[in-house]
Amino acid sequence: MSIKVSFINLSSIDFTGKHKTLAEEGLKTDITYPGDFLAARTGHQTMEIDQEVLSWYVDGNMETWSTWMPTTDGGKTFSTEGAFGVKTESPLQFLSIGKAPYWYAGHIKSGHNGYTWDIRDGHDKATPYTWAPAGKFTVLATPVCHHKSIDIAVTITDLVKPMPGV
């Protein structure tokens, strides 16, 4: 089982992140955590989790979370406005039988203290998802899903404003 979520920041805004994983006890699991800072224009961070031992027999039962908030002052001041997150889940599979990995797109609703997750499960789990623009940027997640893996590229870009008169 393999999960990979890459974050690419092409926008003019820095982001600060928080990350977490949960994995089945007893299975050899390699985890790569992203850094907590996604620099403007050049930032790239990756969350990756792989199971190696016994994957032909039993694997899965893993979760990951990565959340990002726009920051100023080199990451010292952050805002929940425009914050977004990606959560993945890989249910337990036995002899490759079981539900494929799936993912959620998250955002903070105005007035809430925590993340509200928009489920990305079911028939459209491989459909790209765009977060509503928040001020000066937009976020696009493009997933590639298979029965034993999920790979999501999340790209942050500046919001393009229409030209006057158009």
**CATH number of the domain within which 55 lies:** 2.60.270
Residue 163 included in any domain? no
Condensed to tens digits (0 to 9), the pLDDT of residues 56-98 reads: 555 567 788 898 989 877 666 777 777 888 988 887 777 777 7
Residue 135 included in any domain? yes
Residue 114 included in any domain? yes
Cβ atoms within 10 Å of 37's Cβ, excluding its own:
16
Is the distance from CB of 89 to CB of 102 less than 8 angstroms? yes
Condensed to tens digits (0 to 9), the pLDDT of residues 100-158 reads: 788 888 876 654 555 566 555 544 578 898 887 666 889 999 999 887 788 999 999 99
Residue 53 included in any domain? yes
- Is pTM, for the whole model, over 0.95? no
Candidates 41, 23, 40; CA nearest to 31 is 23
Element (H, E) at 41: none
